Amino acid sequence: MPPSPYALNHPARRSPAWFLRSLLITLVVVFAAQKILEIGGNSNFEIKFGALSISRLRDGYFWTLLTHALLHGNILHLLCNLTGLFFVGRPLEESIGSGRLAALSILGALGAGLVWLGLNGASPGYMIGASGIGMAYLGAFVAQDPRRPVGFPLWQGTVPVWWVLIGFIALDLAGLTLRAFTGREALSGVAHSAHLGGLATGWLCHRLFLTPRSLLNTLRPRLDTPHSATRDGRRPAIAYRVDLEPTKPHPAVYDTTRTEVNRLLDRISEHGYDTLSATERAFLAEAGRNLK
C-alpha cells in the first residue's frame, strides 16, 4: 500500500502548532501589565525600558530591538495587530511549522526595528507594536504563493494575495513620501518604515530557510552515517557519504500525490477554492512545488 500523499512534507507531520497561540497570549498579557503599571502611576516604565529609539540603544538597551514588538499604545492598536497576526500566521504556521514561525517572528521584529531606526533614528520619537512581525508574516505568506486567492468580510469575491501586498506597500510608501515632503504623517502614529522592513524580512526569510527549496536548505548537504563506522577505535573506510543530489519520490508516492492533486483541482473547479480546508490548501501548494 503506497504512503499517503500527505506524508510528503505535510503540516500534519510537523510538531503541534504552538507558537502563534503563545505569541498572541503574550501580547495580551503584556498589554494588561502595561495598564496595571499605568494605574500604579508607572505609565512610562514599559516605554522607557521596552520601546525602541536611538537614544535607548545608545544607553545600552539593545533588547529594545525585540521588546518593542510586545508593547502597544492602546486597545485598538493591540486588536489590529492581533487580527493580522492570527489570520496570516495561522495558515503560515500550518505550512512552515512553529519553529520556523518563531524564527520569522524574531527576525521580523528585528528587521522592522532596524529599518525604522535607519529612516527615523534622528527623530526624538520611539516605536512600539507588533506590526513589523505581522508584515513579516504577510511577506512570507505572499512569497509562498503570490496567486493564492483571498477574500474579505462582507465581499463575495476574491483577489490574488499579491494585490494585498501591493496595497500595503503603496500605503506605506505614500505615508513615507508625505512625511518627507510635508513633515506630516497621513496616519498619525503608523510606523510605515517598520512595515516595509517587516515585509522585506519576511520575503528574505522565505528565500533563505522557510521552505525545503529555500537557499540554505538546498545548500546544506545530507550526511549519512556508514555501516562501516565502528566503536573499536579503527578508522572506517568511509566516514561519511555526502549526497548533494535532490531526493526523488517513489513512483507510487508520486502517482498517489498526483491523484490527490487532481481531486482537489476538480473540487476547486466545481465549488471554488474557498471550499478547501487550510490543510488541503497547504498540501496543494507544497505538492505543486514537489511535482515540478
44 in any annotated domain? yes
The answer to whether position 284 is within a domain reads no
Longest dimension (CA), the chain: 76
- Checking if the pLDDT of 14 tops 50, the result is no
Split into its structural domains, the chain has a count of 1
- CA-CA distance, 168 to 161, in Å (whole number)? 11
Of 135, 99, 80, nearest to 20 by C-alpha is 99
Q: Please report whether residue 264 resides in a domain.
A: no
Which CATH number is 135's domain given?
Answer: 1.20.1540.10
Tally of CA atoms within 13 A in the half-sphere of 109 that contains its CB: 25
Domain range spanning residue 198? Answer: 9-224+238-247
Q: Does the residue 126 lie in any domain?
A: yes
Residue 40 counted as domain residue = yes
The answer to whether position 209 is within a domain reads yes
Question: What mean pLDDT do residues 252-264 have?
Answer: 72
Paired with 191 in beta bridges are none
Is residue 267 in a domain? no
pTM here is: 0.69
Does residue 272 lie within any of the structural domains?
no
CA–CA distance from 160 to each of 11, 145, 147, 253 (Å)? Answer: 23, 9, 5, 31
Mean pLDDT of the chain: 79
pLDDT in tens, 267-281: 777 777 777 777 887
The pLDDT of residue 134? 95
Whether the CB-CB separation of 141 and 150 falls below 8 Å is answered with no
pLDDT tens per residue, range 20-45: 999 999 999 999 999 888 887 776 77
Express each pLDDT in 174-220 by its tens digit: 888 887 766 655 455 788 899 999 999 999 999 998 877 777 766 66
Residues 143-155: pLDDT tens digits?
998 998 887 776 7
